């Protein structure tokens, strides 16, 4: 039995599907059991509880062979990241009450830093809080999700993929949710390890290559163009960010463009992604045309 947090979202749901395909039993802790009814029909042990309640998490951890945890993304956090700190504290308490035989934690590239991370900061806080757990722990640090660029399937139809990367030809760490799910399921179900592992997961891909992948899917030539730094706030406001709430997003890209955030940290393992940006975009296009789309606030 493996506990998967965030099962109603894309990442947790993908991990659960991988484990179920391997014949593993899965447990999920959710705020609202009704939202996970489809998972219950697939045999998942759905436990209702608040993810800010350490006792609820500890009960969900009881008797499992391993656990996957993640923080729900907060795109417009408060300056002190209080929204995430509550969950981090609950996770820490629960994992010390009921440490699982192994733990996989979704983090991010850059999480080894303690400043200049913007919205990545909660993941740095999470890694530091869980650094001394009494159980084997693996932190997965993926690059930017290809799924973050799905808006390009619509916005790039005029032939331009606007990006906050300063150099569109420079390769940056990127990955697909499917690759994160495959690696997490592998870590949970394969041979045990001792101590802490940190895994950088993804491939080096440029904004120009993302633009080419979008173009191949929408059927026209697409060019990547950098948004000038002085226009970032205005561009983000046009994308729906409220006044004064762009700082956490801007700080990430400032860090990436300054090579403060990236791969190549000493002591980490490197796992290459196997899913391409074009595959992610093609699947999303097919889903939009013929299928249903995941809807979750815990993606």
How many other C-beta atoms are found inside a 10 Å radius of the C-beta of residue 205?
A: 20
In a domain, 87, yes or no: yes
In a domain, 299, yes or no: no
* Average of per-residue pLDDT across 89-118: 97
Q: In this model, does residue 220 exceed pLDDT 60?
A: yes
Structural contact between residues 102 and 64, judged by C-beta atoms closer than 8 angstroms: no
Structural contact between residues 65 and 101, judged by C-beta atoms closer than 8 angstroms: yes
Return the percentage of the chain with pLDDT > 90, whole number: 92
What domain range is 130 assigned to? Answer: 2-290
> Number of folded domains in the chain?
1
In a domain, 39, yes or no: yes
H or E element, residue 56: helix 54-61
Give the whole-angstrom CA distance, residue 279 versus residue 54: 38
| Domain containing residue 143: CATH number | 3.40.50.720
pLDDT one-digit tens code per residue, 148-191: 999 999 999 999 999 999 999 999 999 999 999 999 999 999 98
In a domain, 84, yes or no: yes
In a domain, 298, yes or no: no
Give the whole-angstrom CA distance, residue 208 versus residue 45: 44
């Amino acid at each position: 039995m493996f506990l998967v947090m965030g099962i109603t979202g894309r990442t947790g749901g993908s991990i659960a599907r991988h484990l179920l395909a391997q014949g593993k039993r899965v447990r999920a802790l959710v705020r609202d059991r009704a939202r996970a009814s489809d998972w219950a029909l697939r045999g998942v042990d759905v436990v209702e509880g608040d993810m800010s309640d350490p006792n609820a998490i500890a009960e969900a951890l009881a008797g499992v062979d391993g656990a996957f945890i993640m923080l729900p993304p907060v795109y417009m956090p408060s300056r002190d990241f209080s929204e995430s700190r509550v969950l981090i504290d609950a996770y820490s308490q629960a994992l010390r009450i009921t440490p699982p035989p192994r733990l996989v934690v979704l983090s991010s590239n850059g999480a080894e830093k303690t400043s200049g991370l913007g919205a990545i900061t909660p993941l740095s806080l999470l890694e530091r809080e869980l650094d001394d757990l009494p159980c084997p722990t693996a932190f997965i640090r993926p690059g930017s999700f290809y799924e973050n660029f799905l808006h390009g399937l619509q916005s790039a139809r005029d032939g331009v993929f606007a990006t906050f990367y300063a150099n569109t030809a420079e390769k940056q760490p990127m990955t697909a949710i499917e690759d994160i799910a495959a690696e997490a399921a592998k870590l949970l179900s394969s041979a045990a390890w001792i101590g802490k592992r940190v895994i950088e997961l993804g491939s080096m891909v440029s904004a120009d290559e993302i633009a080419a992948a979008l173009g191949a899917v929408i059927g026209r030539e697409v060019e990547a163009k950098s948004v000038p730094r002085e226009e970032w706030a205005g561009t983000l406001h046009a994308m729906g960010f409220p006044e004064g709430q762009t700082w956490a997003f801007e700080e990430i890209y400032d860090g990436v463009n300054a090579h403060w955030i990236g791969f190549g940290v000493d002591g980490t393992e490197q796992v290459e992604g196997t899913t391409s940006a074009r595959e992610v975009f093609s699947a999303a296009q097919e889903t939009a045309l013929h299928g249903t789309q995941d809807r979750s606030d815990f993606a």
